[in-house]
Structure formats: structure tokens, C-alpha cells
Amino acid sequence: MEDPKKLEEGFGNQNKNTSQENIDINRVDNNQDLASHENHEQKKLGQPLQKEEEEQSSIKKKSKRVATLDAFRGLTIVQMTYLVFRIKILIIFGILQKPANGGIPAYENIVMEKRVPKVSAAIRKVTLRTLKLLFWGIILQGGYSHAPYDLSYGVDMKLIRWCGILQRIALVYLIVALIEILTTKLRPTTLTPGHFSIFTAYKWQWLGGLVAFVVYMTTIYGLYVPDWNFLVRDEDRTERYTVKCGMRGHLGPACNAVGYVDRQVWGINHLYNQPVWARSKACTLSYPAAGPFRDDAPSWCRAPFEPEGLLSSISAIMSGTIGIHYGHVLIHFKGHCERLKQWISMGFGLLIIAFILHFTDAIPLNKQLYSFSYVCFTAGAAGIVFSGFYILIDVLGLRLPFLWLEWIGMNAMLIFVLGAQGIFAGFINGWFYKNEDNNLVNWIQHHVFFDVWKSQRVGTLLYVIFAEITFWAVLAGILHRLGIYWKL
């Protein structure tokens, strides 16, 4: 087949014997007419080929992967995976934040829009992914898996925990994705000029976030929380405790509406039984670490509390709405400056709102309740951090130092399951010598890090960096080279 470019230029089937001396004038004219006709037809043939090439080139440009997304996703997984280790390190250094309010931001806000040709197919895909997230969430965080330190498995259905990180992600993903899919035909194909045009183009998404905000705020400040009681079962006895409430709008550990809603919906036996509030000064002398309760500890110190419960997950829908806005900016604005202007202005605006609400005590930062100030703080921090990554990786081209985060981000679910939920460490711990504590993980912790450095602080920090984060980064890189990915 001939080169379409040559066809366009009229060099398809030209007569090469132009050096013949005895050529009839009529034959020359006929050849010229024929060549002209052929050129015209060949140009017509070349036009669709050129158009197809241009469309393919345009598609390639549009589908160019933004490396920052993988790196940022990797940062999120690293943070989620090593929350337990970070808490341990911070406790050792004595700088853990007060458990009642505040918290470590989780950068779970970047959402990318994917184009699916049919609405029904898109809804089926979203529903299936939601069910997968729910399934793995219940398996990993419902109590069935006891990894990595307890080698047993199984859960009493009377005590199973229905909520968790993956379940929260599933709910937020379902709501945000359905709004995105069902409003595709209701928004303009191109943005009108103006800084706020992207907000008006996606008004239905913001309306969904507003509904979540109204539901959360009216419930947490307007719902009456009565007195409640719970049972604590020890090996030899069962004791009943009563928490005195009878109030509205309380944001403390005892009488908040978040806990009340979860107790009514799920039942108190299905909530998380190791809440962070049990480490507060009011509960234990070991603060900020967990330890025996004080003699005068209030009753709520022993009560379960669900940090990923229903009402707080409704609040997290606002985080998802802001996250998908960051994704919309990435899609509609092609220039680096335009994208960064949108992300940074949004990020700083949210941080300002969060600081005002927190430091005026209007709405304190509270991760356990997923307060509105916490939503603004984490979403704003996500926008600023993502912008910083974008400048370094996609603008300045400094990709090499962040490749390990990209690798982790490309296999986020695998690293989360094996690392964050301790499945791999539990598998290693299953190969012990004489007793369960004499396993490879414990041996590495004590003999390679603690004993060598003669400091539990330094040893714990180095263990996290080298035996955990570095290990998973190298493994993710190997899987990437082999083209092995686990996606829901």
C-alpha cells in the first residue's frame, strides 16, 4: 500500500519515463489528464487517512498519563499502610496529637473522570467495583482476618464490624460516580470563559456535596443523643456501663451524634472496639499510648466507637466532591499554569476555612467525627500537596525521585491489602520456630534494627523506612516491570 502522505502530495502513480523523446502531444495531454484525475482521487483517499491519523494523535495526547496521579496515589497508600507505624513512632517521640480533636490528613481526594460509552454499562461497572470494595473491606476489617500478629482467623457474626476504610471509600465512590454518570448530558461540552465556569458546569456534583453537608450538619448538631449503655466482657465477668448524655450538638467522645447513629444503625456490638479516644488523658495515664484505664476514667473510655461510620462517611462525600473537582480541572485545563491556579487557589481557600473554623472553636478539626473543618483541611492539603507533586514531576520533569511512589500507586490495592492489612506479614509470621513470637518479622525488628541501634525510637523509624516502605516500593517496581497489577 502506498504512503498516504505521498498520495496527498500527488506522487502516487506518476509516469517515470519522462525522458522519452518521441512522445505524441495527444498522449502527453491524455497522460496529464489521467494524472490530474488520479491525483484528485488519491487526495480524496488521503484526506480520510490524514483525518484518522490526526484523530489518533489527538487521542494519544488526551490519554497521556499524568505521572503525578500515580505518585500521589502511592503517597496515599503509604500513609494508609503505615498509619499504625506512624502512630507508634509518634508515640515513642511523644508528639502524637490529641486524640479527641485533630488528626493526620488522609489525601484521598484526587478522582479522575473516565469516559464510558453507555450509561448502563458505566453504572454496572461502578456497582460491581463498589461491591468488590465492600467485600474486601468486610473481609479485611470486619474481624475475619486477624493478621499479622494473631495467626487464627474467623469472626463471630454477632460481633462482626460492618464499617471500615474500604467500605467508606465504596460509599463515597458510589455516590460521586453515579452523580458524574447520570449528569453527563446535563452539563456543557465546553467551559465558558471565567474562573468559576468549571463550578457552574458541574453544579450537580456540587449540589450532591451540599446535600451531604446539610445532612451531616443538621444531624450532628440537631439530633438528640439520650443516655446509653454497653457491656464489657472479660474472660470471667461481664460489666455494664452507662454513659450520661441527654444533649444535642456535643462533639466530644461520649455524646456525639456520629456514635449515636452508628449504635442505632449497626448495633453497638458491630462497632470498632479499639477507638483512639481510649488513649486520651482522661482515660489512661499512658497517654498518648494505650494502657490500663485510670481508676477515675469515665465510662465512655471503655465503649466502642466507629471512626468510619455512616454519618461520618456521609461527610466524606464532601471530600469526594472536592476530589472529583480536582480531576475536572485536570481534564478541562490543558496548561500547567491554569491547572495550578485552580488547584492552589482551591487548596489555600479550603485551608483558610479549616483554620478559621478550628481556631475559633466553631467546628474543631476532628478526624473521628469527620467534621467539616477536617474535610476542608484534608481536601485543601491534598490540593496543595498534589500541586507540589505536579510541579516537580510533570512540569519540571523530576520523575526519578518519585518513581517508587508511582510504582506503589499503580498497584495500590495490592499494597494496601498485603501491607496495610498485614496479610503478607501474617503469612511470614506463620512460619515460626517453637513459639509464635519467634518468627522472621520479630527477629528482623529486634536484631537488625533495635539491637543494632540500641534505641527503640531510631530502630522503629528505620524499620518502617527500610523493612516496610522500601520493601513494598521495590516489590511494586518489580511487579510494574512484569506488567502485573491488581485492580478492582
More confident residue, 7 or 183: 183
The widest CA-to-CA distance across the chain, in whole angstroms, is 119
How many residues are present in the chain? 488
Can you tell me the mean pLDDT for 149-163?
Answer: 92
Residue type, 425: A
**Distances 396 to 154, 299, 326 between C-alpha atoms, Å:** 50, 55, 20
Q: Which residues lie closer than 8 Å to 198 by C-beta, 6 or more apart?
A: 191, 325, 328, 329, 332, 342
Q: Looking at residue 186, what is its pLDDT?
A: 86
Q: Looking at residue 78, what is its pLDDT?
A: 81
Number of neighbours of residue 184 by Cβ within 10 angstroms: 14
Lowest mean pLDDT among 60-64, 382-386, 427-431: 60-64
Q: Between 165-182 and 119-141, two packed helices, what is the crossing angle to 10 degrees?
A: 170
The values of phi and psi at residue 153, to 5°, are: -150, 165
- Report the percent of the chain where pLDDT is more than 90: 61
Q: Looking at residue 117, what is its pLDDT?
A: 63
More confident residue, 262 or 19: 262
How far apart are alpha carbons 143 and 108 in whole angstroms?
24
**Distances 308 to 12, 135, 172, 377 between C-alpha atoms, Å:** 68, 16, 12, 18
Cα four-point dihedral sign 341, 344, 345, 346: positive
Q: Is the pLDDT of residue 31 over 70?
A: no
Q: Which residues lie closer than 8 Å to 185 by C-beta, 6 or more apart?
A: none
Can you tell me the mean pLDDT for 239-255?
Answer: 95
For the chain, the average pLDDT equals 82
How far apart are alpha carbons 171 and 405 in whole angstroms?
26
3 state SS of 149: coil
More confident residue, 62 or 365: 365
HSE (side-chain half, CA atoms, 13 Å) at 426? 17
Q: Looking at residue 227, what is its pLDDT?
A: 97
Number of neighbours of residue 139 by Cβ within 10 angstroms: 17
Lowest mean pLDDT among 16-20, 44-48, 146-150, 461-465: 16-20
Asked if 71 and 340 count as a contact pair (C-beta separation under 8 A), the reply is: no
The values of phi and psi at residue 126, to 5°, are: -65, -45
Asked if 354 and 382 count as a contact pair (C-beta separation under 8 A), the reply is: no
The alpha carbon of residue 215 and the mean position of all alpha carbons in its chain are separated, in whole angstroms, by 23
pLDDT tier, 115 (very low <50, low <70, confident <90, very high otherwise): low
pTM beyond 0.85: no
How far apart are alpha carbons 396 and 391 in whole angstroms?
6
Lowest mean pLDDT among 74-78, 177-181, 230-234: 74-78
Q: Following CA atoms 457, 462, 464, 468 in sequence, which dihedral angle do they give, to the nearest 10 degrees? A: -150
DSSP 189-236: SSPPSSTTHHHHHTHHHHHHHHHHHHHHHHHHHH-EE--EEEEEE-SS
Q: Looking at residue 313, what is its pLDDT?
A: 96
Burial class (CB in 10 A: 0-12, 13-18, 19+), 115: exposed
Lowest mean pLDDT among 45-49, 226-230, 356-360, 388-392: 45-49
Q: Looking at residue 98, what is its pLDDT?
A: 41
Q: Looking at residue 290, what is its pLDDT?
A: 83
Number of neighbours of residue 292 by Cβ within 10 angstroms: 10
From 411, 422, 400, 409, select the one nearest 482 (Cα to Cα).
Answer: 411
Q: Looking at residue 255, what is its pLDDT?
A: 97
Q: Is the pLDDT of residue 28 over 50?
A: no
Q: Is the pLDDT of residue 360 over 90?
A: yes
Q: Is the pLDDT of residue 96 over 50?
A: no
Residue type, 464: V
From 78, 93, 105, select the one nearest 367 (Cα to Cα).
Answer: 105
- Report the percent of the chain where pLDDT is more than 70: 79
pLDDT tier, 354 (very low <50, low <70, confident <90, very high otherwise): very high
Q: Looking at residue 53, what is its pLDDT?
A: 45
Q: Following CA atoms 177, 178, 181, 185 in sequence, which dihedral angle do they give, to the nearest 10 degrees? A: -130
Lowest mean pLDDT among 28-32, 129-133, 143-147, 431-435: 28-32
Q: Is the pLDDT of residue 339 over 90?
A: yes
From 396, 339, 466, 394, select the one nearest 70 (Cα to Cα).
Answer: 394
61 grid coordinates: 495526547
467 grid coordinates: 523493612
Q: DSSP code of 163? A: -
**Distances 132 to 14, 69, 104, 459 between C-alpha atoms, Å:** 62, 22, 27, 37
For residue range 250-265, what is the model confidence (pLDDT) as tens digits? 999 999 999 999 999 9
How far apart are alpha carbons 452 and 474 in whole angstroms?
24
208 grid coordinates: 450532591
How far apart are alpha carbons 303 and 242 in whole angstroms?
10
SS3 content of the chain, % helix, strand, coil (to 5): 60, 5, 35
Can you tell me the mean pLDDT for 431-449?
Answer: 90
253 grid coordinates: 467522645
**Distances 59 to 54, 55, 113, 121 between C-alpha atoms, Å:** 9, 6, 15, 22
Q: Is the pLDDT of residue 43 over 60?
A: no
